[in-house]
Amino acid sequence: MQDDTSAADILMGDVVRLEDVLSRESVTSVSKSFFALFGLPVRVISQEGDLLADVHRDRPLCNYVNTLSNGERECADTVGLVRDVEPNGQTIVHPCFTGAVYRIAPLAHQGRPIGRLIIGPYVPAETQGPPASLTSIDGSIHLPTAREHFDRMPRVREDIAEELSAHLKGVVELLVFSGHRAQLASTMQVASVRENYRELAEKNEALKTSYDELKQLDQLKSTFLATVSHELRTPLTSIIGYTEMLESGAAGALSDGQAEFLNTIRGKADQLLGLISSLLDLGRLEAKSLELHNEAVDPRALLSDVGSTIVPNANRRNVALDIKVAEGTPKIWGDPVRLQQIVLNLADNALKFTHEGGEVILGAEPGELDAEGPEGLGAALFAASRPAVVLTVRDSGMGIPEESLSRIFDAFYQIDAGTTRAHGGAGLGLSIVKQLVDGHDGTIEVTSALGEGTIFTVKLPAADDNA
């Protein structure tokens, strides 16, 4: 395309063509970000009709309508009208026969129209169902299919669509302003930008190299832990097996002292086997190779099983244990073994850090998880939340310092990490819990106050009523 922009035009501050001051890369990048955030298609067209950005995803409804002879013709006519319409300084909402709309906003710089911005198609949130113009478009239309595809179209309230359009229009016009000013920059300024970019690229390359090295070291660490854990597990299993045989009298009667020693060996071996199993679980979780076998799990039964497991320890420590399950709490959709591992780890931690005479409460109640669909956060803003089960583990223990809250889910992190720390453990439990919760598409949060106690809140997807 021939460039009709003169040096005088630039120096006088006039923008002759949108293409001269707005790079396709920058406007496409902004449009992609907008689409990723809100799930709404974006097109930017110059005053001369050149398409500078086109970011969209084919919708099932549009694809289906285009399989119909009348629908294909109507679609082509609608797209042509939308592309060529002139907003004349005012935003226009152009309807489509499918019930969707296009929002067309003018782009201007220094009072001069330079192009237009098109957002859509999308369905106004107030629309209840497909219009007659869609359902009667062609004699061969399959109404259930058309309605299903219509319901999957992105929906936006008109007031929100207006705000989104104004925001994107402001961003694009700001890009125009910046691009125009860039044309007035001196050669020295351009050279300085290039030099800064070069330095930034070098630093970025150095950071990438460091990242790759750290990633390789982390992989070596994971491989080493997995190998050592496997190698330790085999002889440890034999130690436990022979200890059990000795305890059963297979090698002869034992004295009280010998039985006590064997009981200690057995306890420490079980403790070490638990640590090795945690290391193996952590390795599989980090490698994304741990399979979950999901089914509908009754939260009351889950908490009761965990409670029966920890109640002897609670009694020994003189800690009250209570289970509270709200009426109407649905079943959890998850792996029953891993769900028990989640709650048991949290409950063991609660007991470990609760003083004698304290209290630990396991609870479950209905809740919601924020919906996050495949079309990004923006689509989630207009979608309903998912039903969930909220599990809580509450204690009246020592609490967690505020500066430690952001790190408690890190592997091997210990709050009392000194050599004289009073509580055992390798710092793997909460890290495994976090990754198991993430694997169930759930969330986990913690609140704590020193001297008052800690509350872990886990939200997990609820099972369907028919599960």
pLDDT in tens, 236-275: 777 878 788 887 887 788 888 888 888 888 777 776 766 6
| Residue 414 three-state SS | coil
The whole-angstrom separation of Cα 343 and Cα 349 is 10
* pLDDT confidence tier of residue 454, bands split at 50, 70 and 90: very high
Evaluate whether residue 448 is within a structural domain: yes
Q: Are residues 311 and 403 in the same domain?
A: yes
Q: Are residues 452 and 317 in the same domain?
A: yes
Reference 50, options 34, 73, 74, 27; nearest CA is: 27
Q: Are residues 282 and 325 in the same domain?
A: no
Mean of per-residue pLDDT scores for the chain: 81
Q: What average pLDDT does the segment 439-457 reach?
A: 91
* pLDDT confidence tier of residue 329, bands split at 50, 70 and 90: very high
Does the pLDDT of residue 291 top 60, yes or no?
Answer: yes
* pLDDT confidence tier of residue 376, bands split at 50, 70 and 90: very low
Domain enclosing residue 395, as ranges:
295-461
Give pLDDT, residue 16.
57
Q: Looking at the 3D structure of the chain, how many domains does it have?
A: 3
Beta carbons within 8 Å of 266's beta carbon, 6+ residues apart: 240, 243, 244, 247
Q: Are residues 333 and 211 in the same domain?
A: no
Q: Are residues 440 and 367 in the same domain?
A: yes
Q: What average pLDDT does the segment 271-300 reach?
A: 72
Evaluate whether residue 197 is within a structural domain: no
Question: What's the pTM value of the predicted model, to 2 decimals?
Answer: 0.44
Residue 178 tokens read as 């910046």
Does the pLDDT of residue 405 top 90, yes or no?
Answer: no
Q: What average pLDDT does the segment 426-440 reach?
A: 80
pLDDT over 70, % of the chain: 81
Evaluate whether residue 316 is within a structural domain: yes
| Residue 466 three-state SS | coil
Length of the chain: 467
- Tens-place pLDDT, residues 98-108: 899 999 999 88
Q: Are residues 444 and 340 in the same domain?
A: yes
Strands 112-124 and 155-156, sheet pairing: parallel
Does the pLDDT of residue 279 top 80, yes or no?
Answer: no
The whole-angstrom separation of Cα 9 and Cα 21 is 12
Domain limit, last residue, from 286, 311, 332 = 286
The whole-angstrom separation of Cα 283 and Cα 278 is 9
Give pLDDT, residue 392.
94
Residue 351 tokens read as 């007991």
Evaluate whether residue 364 is within a structural domain: yes
Q: Are 77 and 109 in contact (CB under 8 A)?
A: no
Q: What phi and psi, each to the nearest 5 degrees, are found at residue 330? A: -75, 175
Beta carbons within 8 Å of 55's beta carbon, 6+ residues apart: 28, 31, 32, 34, 35, 41, 42, 43
**What's the gap between Cα 212 and its chain centre?**
24
Give pLDDT, residue 427.
60
Evaluate whether residue 21 is within a structural domain: yes
Q: Are residues 121 and 229 in the same domain?
A: no
The whole-angstrom separation of Cα 165 and Cα 171 is 10
CA angle 34, 35, 37 (to 5 degrees): 65
Q: Are 355 and 315 in contact (CB under 8 A)?
A: no
Is 267 or 136 the better-scoring residue by pLDDT? Answer: 136
Q: Are residues 317 and 449 in the same domain?
A: yes
Q: Are residues 351 and 242 in the same domain?
A: no
Q: Are residues 322 and 413 in the same domain?
A: yes
Q: Are residues 44 and 157 in the same domain?
A: yes
88: left (phi over 0), alpha (psi -120 to 50) or beta: left
- Tens-place pLDDT, residues 191-250: 778 889 899 999 999 999 898 888 887 777 667 666 666 666 677 777 878 788 887 887
Q: Are 110 and 20 in contact (CB under 8 A)?
A: no
Q: Are residues 397 and 424 in the same domain?
A: yes
Give pLDDT, residue 193.
81
Does the pLDDT of residue 166 top 80, yes or no?
Answer: yes
Give pLDDT, residue 373.
43
The whole-angstrom separation of Cα 174 and Cα 177 is 5
